[in-house]
Amino acid sequence: MNVIFRNLPHPKLLQQLAKGSLEQIHNLSRAIRLWALLRWLYSDKGYAALGDRFTYTDWRKAFFTETHQDEKQEDIFKHQDPNCVCLKITRQWLLELEVPLDEWLDSLQKQIPLSNSDLEKLLEERLFAQVRKSLQSDFALLVSRNCLQTVNNLTGRSKYYCRVEELPIFRNAEYSHKNLTPEKQAYVAGALGMFSFLDPAYPLLAEEFSEDVDEDNHRVFLYVDYVVPESSPTQDAVDDIQSELQEIWESGEIPPLLLTYHSAHLNQIKECAVYPVCIYFMERAKYLCAYGSTPEGEINWHKYRLDRIRSKRIETLSWNDPRVPQLLREKSEDDQLPTPNTVNAKLKEAWGCDFYKEPALMILRFEQDFHQRYIEGISIHDTFCAIDCEAATKLIKQYTSNPEHRQAIPGFASCQPLFSKYSRSNKSCFSPVTGIRFMSTIMVKNPSPRFACFSPVTGIRFMSTSPSI
């Protein structure tokens, strides 16, 4: 027998759905939308339109008309199909679902201090005139409230939902942020919002604190370069992959995975059987750090850029699957599978994001004035430290065996006081002559030939001393 949801939107029920103060009109509006969505999903009409398992796209096609678009807010507001529910205002939803409007409004105002003008504005609002991201977030909220479930192990990357066999009884809840003032809740929500590119769960968590983010008075901002366009299908795919990975990690039983991956280095599509460890944001993108078969055919660590994973849905493998590398299987049998601490430790060993490559020596030379202005006192890496001219000379002799190559290094022949500051760290771009990797364009903004001088003989880069950095 199908579960039918007929509850009226009493303030206590709305409070449970909102998980936030209903005094904030945005929270109240969303709680009503969640209630209306539950009424539709758990109705005869909803069961007839959607099967037992469905995606957001399936619901969108069944709920709205074919001409409805949910990418941009402006397209939604321009939509004039009279049969589309995106035009339906809150008042219409309440009346069609047989809510005694005057009695409901009176009950609402007795428990929540809302002005008549705010309520009137709420009643005239187009309840489902929301962009896709907002509506997808609504589904995630219903999952977190045990009103829907996600379905695992289905083909395709899209997230599948199913109805629950028994809806929860809505009660008053205690919140971990109950002692925060509305201003502090808004501040926390704004801070989480700045990091929304890192984790698709952050916006949802932010909304549980507050939807009333005062952007005009926010004074602290974070700007990062991120290769994935905002509100794009690529971002949706990346978020889906990350959500799948987080569900796997939270399950406690982490299996090997089969990734279909586009390697930009090889310009080929490769299948890699790996053990997923963690996700890092580095070099303007999000990467999955995993151990297993790499695109180059080795058994090693590799970082897989999430937007280049081509799998329609991440495929889990059993440990007995022949595609799982023997070395990885042995690590599992010996209870020696890598952890995020393994990655963090390797990142501390050398400067650079390719933590699985062999570290090597790098020497950077700065002019004295530049060093005092821009280098002294800053933190770059645990391995970055100052050395004197004598030590630098010894290191160059040790790692550059060919005397001609040494003499080609500017400042080596006469170690003048001007060049007496050196720094020691690790590397990232390869010198075929010396076999040493050297980090290039560090500390250089918008690097160009005039900002770094390159020695083609030794493969060493010396950093610019331009004060425009």
H or E, element range at 206? helix 201-209
Instruction: Select from 318, 348, 378 the last residue of a domain.
Output: 348
Determine how many CB atoms are found less than 10 A away from the CB of residue 165: 9
Residue 329 and residue 403 share a domain: no
pTM, two decimals, is 0.54
Q: Return the pLDDT at 271.
A: 94
Q: Return the pLDDT at 333.
A: 93
Instruction: Select from 279, 314, 348 the last residue of a domain.
Output: 348
Q: Is residue 44 part of a domain?
A: yes
Residue 373 and residue 290 share a domain: no
Domain holding 310: CATH number? 2.30.30
Task: Please give the structure tokens belonging to residue 381.
Answer: 């890496």
- The range of the structural domain enclosing residue 209 comes to 177-223
Residue 432 and residue 375 share a domain: yes
Residue 193 and residue 163 share a domain: no
Q: Is residue 4 part of a domain?
A: no
Determine how many CB atoms are found less than 10 A away from the CB of residue 209: 25
Q: Return the pLDDT at 207.
A: 65
DSSP state of 414: S
Residue 372 and residue 339 share a domain: no
Q: Is residue 99 part of a domain?
A: yes
Residue 427 and residue 372 share a domain: yes
Q: Is residue 234 part of a domain?
A: no
Instruction: Select from 194, 223, 252 the last residue of a domain.
Output: 223
Q: Is residue 269 part of a domain?
A: yes
- Do 131 and 76 meet the contact criterion of CB atoms below 8 Å apart? yes
Task: Please give the structure tokens belonging to residue 384.
Answer: 């970055």
d(CA 30, CA 17): 9
Residue 244 and residue 219 share a domain: no
- Do 444 and 464 meet the contact criterion of CB atoms below 8 Å apart? yes
d(CA 350, CA 427): 7
Per-residue pLDDT of the chain in tens (469 residues, 90 and over written 9): 788 998 999 888 998 888 677 888 888 999 999 999 999 999 999 999 998 899 998 999 999 988 888 777 777 878 778 889 888 999 999 999 999 998 899 888 888 888 888 899 999 999 998 888 889 889 988 998 889 998 875 555 568 899 998 888 654 333 444 456 667 777 777 777 777 777 777 776 676 665 555 566 677 777 788 888 887 888 888 888 988 898 889 887 899 999 999 999 999 999 999 999 999 998 889 999 999 999 999 999 999 999 999 987 789 999 999 999 999 999 999 999 999 998 988 888 888 888 888 888 888 877 888 888 888 888 888 888 888 778 888 888 888 878 777 777 765 655 533 333 333 333 333 223 233 333 322 332 233 332 233 333 333 333 322 233 2
Domain count, the chain: 4
> Half-sphere exposure of 317 toward its Cβ, with a 13 Å CA cutoff?
20
Residue 310 and residue 443 share a domain: no
Name which of 207, 186, 238 is nearest 137 in CA terms.
207
Q: Is residue 228 part of a domain?
A: no
Q: Return the pLDDT at 455.
A: 32
Residue 17 and residue 111 share a domain: yes
Residue 245 and residue 206 share a domain: no
Residue 162 and residue 45 share a domain: yes
Q: Is residue 267 part of a domain?
A: yes
Residue 307 and residue 196 share a domain: no
- Do 267 and 258 meet the contact criterion of CB atoms below 8 Å apart? no
Q: Is residue 356 part of a domain?
A: no
